[in-house]
Structure 1
Amino acid sequence: MMKPLVLASLFAAASFSAQADDKVVREAIQTLVPNASIDSIAESALPGFYEVSLGGQLIYVTTDGRYLVQGNVYDIANKVDLTEQKRNGARVAALAEVPRDRRIVFEPKEVKHRITVFTDIDCGYCRRLHQEMAEYNARGIAVEYLFYPRAGLGSESFQKAVNVWCAPDRNAAMTRAKAGETLEKRECDNPVSVDFQLGQQIGLTGTPALITEDGTLLPGYMPADALLQRLDGLKQAATQ
């Protein structure tokens, strides 16, 4: 049996080595992007590479910091997209930090599925999605809105989102705004900036962005029946 002191020394050496590689990878990335916001660096399932979370994106960097790879890593034997699986987990963790009272929720009495939708008041397909809210709810799909004004902080779309949030009846205000109605300009404590930053953190590139309960990102509008079929399929796959 290996002596405790020897075992502890091996663990310490392994930890030091990992920290050294971590530093090499961090420095390598910063030579490319000096102000890079590195969220995490972890060992990858891909031999010889570290997995780096960088501004909502996942990249892979060799342990010597020489090569950087962008793309998805697939486990062929198990038919699993390991990169997307990791992204899904990150989305679930991030959205778990958003309480219900920071969302605008449209839900049926009996909920079969819940989706989080990052929306822009002026986005055409966002409006189309909202026009079908009754159909989504009729199929047991609850829609929980967060804001993602694509034009950015301080834009006209941003202010429209604030107007909705600060209205006495947020659900009614959302429906009116999505129909193209100009709402009264309002100001109050609101989560629009935080929502927008969260969307950037998890790597959104457009709206509507639909995120399922398991963290799967479904970019773009989907008709109610197609969405229900997709959600049922994801739930069934999760139980297998």
Structure 2
Amino acid sequence: MMRSLPIVAALAGLLPAVSVAADKADEAARAAILKLVPQATIDTVEPAPMAGFRQVLLGGQLVYVSDDGRYLMQGKLYDAASRTDLTDARLGKARVEKLKNIPASQLLSFGPDKPKYKLTIFTDIDCGYCRKLHQEVAEYNKLGIEFDYLFFPRSGIDSPSFKKAVSVWCAADKKAAFTAAKGGADPAPLTCDNPIAAQFQLGLDVGVDGTPAVYAPNGVKIGGYLPPAQMLERLQQLEAAKSGT
């Protein structure tokens, strides 16, 4: 009579096949993306929350590719049972990884002494809603919300907005120059070593497609302008969802 293999040995025998299948699915996903966009830079390929698909991070976006590489989907993936936006949750983790190493010296921060929430905001000097957001910064601060600004001149490197951002950065009092520029004053033209181009590229890397681009501490994109009370409410909702309450 043939003896049954021990469970551990049986499982060990299955592992190489599973690994090979996963590798093939990863390669199929990569090939599908590069066939459509040959110049694409793929950050990661990993199993998607739904069976039969991989999820691919590239350029601040998340797409889903079937394990055979035939089907590609772009859009929001929700867990209906938990009412969770799985796409934004995964993108949030990726954004946190990209944003966490920015030194405080490269941020323009406006906040209370002991903020409860810190928002990362990509901003453009000439953006109307960016200006409206900053004009109300004192109200957000009273609610315990800190703004940590990064520059994202939407018209690109060497544009007038880009040069204004450089001038603000090079001013003797950066925060005062920033606030004046947000009020409509043209900053005095200045140049110096600055992080503006690097911040613009970082914005592209995390998927900024408009300004103000407001990100919660967990990397979730809140969106653009929200009035102070609504911004606080949104942050409280995200906090409650994280704690499961």
Question: Do both proteins adopt the same fold according to a TM-score greater than 0.5, normalized to the shorter chain?
Answer: yes
Listed one character per residue, the Cα deviations across residues 70-126 of structure 1 (whole Å, up to 9, x for unaligned) are 111111122212111111111222211212111000111231211111100000110
- 1:76 aligned onto 2:80: yes
1:143-222 equivalence runs, <5 A? 143-222=147-226
Which one of 53, 58, 61 corresponds to residue 57 of structure 1?
61
Q: What is the CA distance between 1:196 and its match in structure 2?
A: 1.0
Matched residue SS, 1:28: helix
Q: Distance in 2 between matches of 1:231 and 1:2?
A: 48
- 1:134 aligned onto 2:120: no
Q: Distance in 2 between matches of 1:195 and 1:207?
A: 13
Q: Distance in 1 between matches of 2:201 and 2:124?
A: 14
Aligned residue for 1:37?
Answer: 41
Q: What is the CA distance between 1:172 and its match in structure 2?
A: 0.5
Q: Distance in 1 between matches of 2:60 and 2:241?
A: 26
- Structure 2, unmatched stretches of 5+, are 1-5
The farther-off stretch of 107-116 and 54-63 is 107-116
Aligned residue for 1:116?
Answer: 120
Aligned 8 A contact 1:24 1:63 in 2: yes
| AA partner of residue 16 (structure 1) | V
Which one of 7, 11, 16 corresponds to residue 20 of structure 2?
16
Q: Distance in 1 between matches of 2:30 and 2:240?
A: 40
How many residues are treated as equivalent by the alignment?
239
Aligned 8 A contact 2:117 2:146 in 1: yes
Aligned 8 A contact 1:206 1:219 in 2: no
| AA partner of residue 215 (structure 1) | G
Matched residue SS, 2:179: helix
| AA partner of residue 179 (structure 1) | G
Matched residue SS, 2:55: strand
Aligned 8 A contact 2:88 2:221 in 1: no
Q: What is the CA distance between 1:184 and its match in structure 2?
A: 1.7
Q: What is the CA distance between 1:3 and its match in structure 2?
A: 6.1
1:89-108 equivalence runs, <5 A? 89-108=93-112
Aligned 8 A contact 1:46 1:73 in 2: no
| AA partner of residue 131 (structure 1) | Q
Q: What is the CA distance between 1:9 and its match in structure 2?
A: 5.0
Output the TM-score relative to the length of structure 2.
0.92
Matched residue SS, 1:27: helix
Listed one character per residue, the Cα deviations across residues 134-168 of structure 1 (whole Å, up to 9, x for unaligned) are 11112211111001110011111111111111111
Matched residue SS, 1:34: coil
Q: What is the CA distance between 1:11 and its match in structure 2?
A: 2.6
Aligned residue for 2:3?
Answer: none
CA shift in 2, pair 1:8/1:151, >3 Å: same
The farther-off stretch of 6-15 and 141-150 is 6-15
Q: Distance in 1 between matches of 2:27 and 2:114?
A: 51
| AA partner of residue 107 (structure 1) | G
Q: Distance in 1 between matches of 2:69 and 2:41?
A: 17
